[in-house]
Amino acid sequence: MPRQTIKIKEFTIMFNDDGCDKIGKFMTPIDPDRLMYKNIMDSNCIEQDILPKDNINDAIDYLKNNRVPQIEGLYEALFKRETFRHCSVYVSDKNNSKIISAANVGIQHENIDPNELQQLVNFAYEYDGQNKIMVMFACYLLYERIHPHEDGNGRMGRLLFLENVYQLTKSFIPLSTALRHNKQSKQLMNEIFKHISFGEIMKKRQIKSGDAAIYRVEIQEMDLNRFYDIINDNQRTKQQYYTLDLDDNTCKLITKLLNSIRV
């Protein structure tokens, strides 16, 4: 199976390029402003967090007027708050009577390097080599796994690498719209994330039927505190977060997802 390896300063992307050339083309939109607004609204709905219209319009103006967006500039336009986090974050997963888990744990906040992340964005906007759509999608996955923001990581990642219709017309991927309206796209995206994310899982202490209610609450609080300790004690290195090695199965899932969107 042919493999492609791309070095981007501190980042490394590896994937199978078989079938990448068969990813469908997306027609150039007639009304990019309207499409951009719809895409951001769909992205907000996915995250169940509707931003003010002024924020959305500011982000659209920013993307339209900057050939290569700066992470801090776009984040400020869209969210109006500090860009990079100073705390641990994770994406919630299962939380039932037996386990509590995280689908992905972001890089330690001490290892967030705004300059290196901007280099990833700069590379994506300058890249004009083979399999551009797959490369852009891989950059998006890297960004999501790193999770540099306290909030808005999904929206930022999609806007920077996939949904900027003004500057990335040829590789434009309306992923937010697909995730909101297409169940299969959402399932495929979840499977892809499982393959590339750094998750955590912890067994809960079992609460007995005879335990008093107040004791149950105490156990639940202790479980949460233990889980937060696991998240805060994340020992994964920056290099682990910066290296994305997509196996054959993951590449096929990505190709299937992209072909379901770019038709």
Cβ density class 23-58: b for 16+ within 10 Å, e for less: beebeeeeebeebbbebbbbbbebeeeebeeebbeb
Cβ proximity of 63 and 74 under 8 Å: yes
Sequence-ordered list of residues with C-beta below 8 angstroms from that of 96, at least 6 positions apart, any chain: none
Distance, CA of 117 to CA of 124 (rounded, Å): 11
Structure tokens at 212: 């008093």
Scan for tokens 């300790």, then name that residue.
Answer: 229
Q: What distance, in Å, lies between the first and last C-alpha atoms of the chain? A: 26
pLDDT by 10s per residue, the chain, length 263: 678 999 998 999 999 877 666 676 666 667 899 999 999 999 999 999 999 999 999 999 999 999 999 999 999 999 999 999 999 999 999 888 899 999 999 999 999 999 999 999 999 999 999 899 999 999 999 999 999 999 999 999 999 999 999 999 888 999 999 999 999 999 999 999 999 999 999 998 876 665 555 556 787 889 999 999 999 999 999 999 999 999 999 999 999 999 988 65
pLDDT of residue 28: 60
> Buried (b) or exposed (e) across 154-178, using 16+ Cβ within 10 A?
bbbbbbbbbbbbbebeebbbbbbbb
What pLDDT shows up at residue 262? 66
Q: What is the pLDDT of residue 216?
A: 63
Task: Read off the amino acid at residue 36.
Answer: M
Q: How many CB atoms lie within 10 A of CB 223?
A: 18
For CA atoms 192, 194, 196, 197, give the dihedral sign. positive
- Quote the pLDDT of residue 22: 64
113 vs 121: CA distance, rounded Å: 13
pTM: 0.92
Domains assigned to the chain: 3-89+111-200+245-261 (1.10.3290)
State residue 219's pLDDT score. Answer: 75
